[in-house]
Amino acid sequence: MNEPEPTPVDHEPTTLRGLLEHYLKDLVYGANDGIITTFAVVAGVTGAQLEPRIVLILGFANLFADGFSMGTSSFLSIRSDEAVRSASGLSVLEPFPGRHSVATFAAFVVAGLVPLLSFVIVPVGNHFAWAVGLTLCTLFLVGAARSLVTVAPWWRNGFEMLALGSTAAAVAYGVGALVEGVTR
Residue 8 is predicted with a pLDDT of 60
Per-residue pLDDT tens for 59-116?
A: 999 999 999 999 999 999 999 999 999 999 999 899 999 999 999 999 999 999 999 9
pLDDT band at 52 (very low <50, low <70, confident <90, very high): confident
In the three-class reduction of DSSP (H, G, I as helix; E, B as strand; rest coil), residue 92 is classed as coil
Q: How far apart are CA 158 and CA 141, in angstroms?
A: 6
Residue 49 is predicted with a pLDDT of 80
pTM of the full structure: 0.87
